[in-house]
Amino acid sequence: MSAKPFAFHLAPGGKLRWAIASLFLLAPVPNALATGIVVAPGPGGTAQLQTRDGVPIVNIVAPNGSGLSHNQFLDYNVDRQGLVLNNALQAGQSQLAGQLAANPQFQGQAASVILNEVISRNASAINGAQEIFGRGADYVLANPNGISLNGAAFINTPNASLVVGRPELNDGKLQALSTRDATGELSVRGAGLQNSEGSINLIAPRIDSDGKLGARDDLNLTVGRNSVDYASGQVRDVDPSGHSRDGRIDARLFGAMQAGRINIISTAEGA
């Protein structure tokens, strides 16, 4: 994969800114895994946890009429062995966990968007691959406390969004992703993050990186305190105030990005 030229977007106001298994061997477990997954009851139900050969499997909650599976967690971390999000209507072969059954929470409909929201004060460390088993779906991890990436990757995921912030929903649809009240930052270390099957969106008040970022399609970075429209990726409701570090992207990141197209936006004052 060769790096492509940067495609910069104009920030609001017209100014260019940068801050730049066998089925029977599945073991049900309580609502927490030693690997760092702790589920919480959510508006659409509670995700179920299993493990096979050391690989955590999350049976996500059934999607609503809009195709959104909204899962809430107290802890959401991924270790080197990876994690499987079960979005399957029938049994099949997982790349990470082998033979798996269909998601027992589903009732004839798979999710088109999987939203994983952390509602505690704990940051997330994503150090392994995440596989969407079954129907491919867009993935969103929203954690206002911070997200670190080192060896993160996605399987069967057309569009993956890592957001240091909160989701904004309306009538059961994911409308926007807001970083206005976030307390953490997004950090990329070492092996970084790859999506060889689709796009990556990184949305955070600030991004600190000395790791690698790669996507087959788009690689979009949006920094500052804003609300980003989920469907279009357009920035709205910009809050230029905030911490002096907001809007920063470590310059080392520029030499470690590869994608079909790279878009970088910062909306922080002075960026």
SS3 content of the chain, % helix, strand, coil (to 5): 5, 45, 50
For residues 207 and 186, is the Cβ–Cβ distance under 8 A?
yes
pLDDT band for 247, please (50, 70, 90 cuts): low
Per-residue confidence (pLDDT) for residue 29, from 0 to 100: 47
Per-residue confidence (pLDDT) for residue 15, from 0 to 100: 39
Q: Is the dihedral of CA 175, 181, 183, 189 positive or negative?
A: positive
Per-residue confidence (pLDDT) for residue 42, from 0 to 100: 92
Please, what is the average pLDDT of the chain? 87
Per-residue confidence (pLDDT) for residue 9, from 0 to 100: 44
pLDDT over 60 (residue 12): no
Per-residue confidence (pLDDT) for residue 3, from 0 to 100: 38
216 by Cβ neighbours in 10 Å (0-12 / 13-18 / 19+) ranks as middle
- Closest Cα partner for 74 from 36, 120, 126, 141? 120
Per-residue confidence (pLDDT) for residue 157, from 0 to 100: 99
Average pLDDT over residues 222-245: 84
- Domain ranges (residues) in the chain: 23-35+46-57+71-163+189-202+209-266
Query: Is pLDDT larger for residue 248 or for residue 134?
Result: 134
Tens of pLDDT, residue by residue over 192-218, are: 999 999 999 999 999 998 899 999 999
225-229 and 199-204 as β-strands: parallel, antiparallel, unpaired? unpaired
Average pLDDT over residues 175-195: 96
Pick the CATH number of 23-35+46-57+71-163+189-202+209-266 from 3.10.180.10, 3.30.70.1710, 2.160.20.10, 3.40.50.1000: 2.160.20.10
Per-residue confidence (pLDDT) for residue 32, from 0 to 100: 53
From CA 93, how far away is CA 211, in angstroms rounded?
Answer: 31
From CA 19, how far away is CA 135, in angstroms rounded?
Answer: 36
pLDDT band for 5, please (50, 70, 90 cuts): very low
From CA 125, how far away is CA 111, in angstroms rounded?
Answer: 24
Per-residue confidence (pLDDT) for residue 255, from 0 to 100: 61
- Closest Cα partner for 147 from 173, 132, 166? 166
DSSP letter string over 179-223?
-TT----EEE-TT-EEETTSEEEEEES-EEESS-EEESSEEEEEE
Query: Is pLDDT larger for residue 31 or for residue 218?
Result: 218
Distance of CA 91 to the CA centre of its chain: 25
Per-residue confidence (pLDDT) for residue 249, from 0 to 100: 63
Tens of pLDDT, residue by residue over 130-140, are: 999 999 999 99
Q: Which amino acid is at 8?
A: F
From CA 154, how far away is CA 195, in angstroms rounded?
Answer: 5
Say how many residues make up the chain: 271
Tens of pLDDT, residue by residue over 62-119, are: 999 999 999 999 999 999 999 999 999 999 999 999 999 999 999 999 999 999 999 9
pLDDT band for 241, please (50, 70, 90 cuts): low
Residues paired with residue 129 on neighbouring β-strands, in sequence order: 153
The model's pTM is 0.86
For residues 177 and 143, is the Cβ–Cβ distance under 8 A?
no
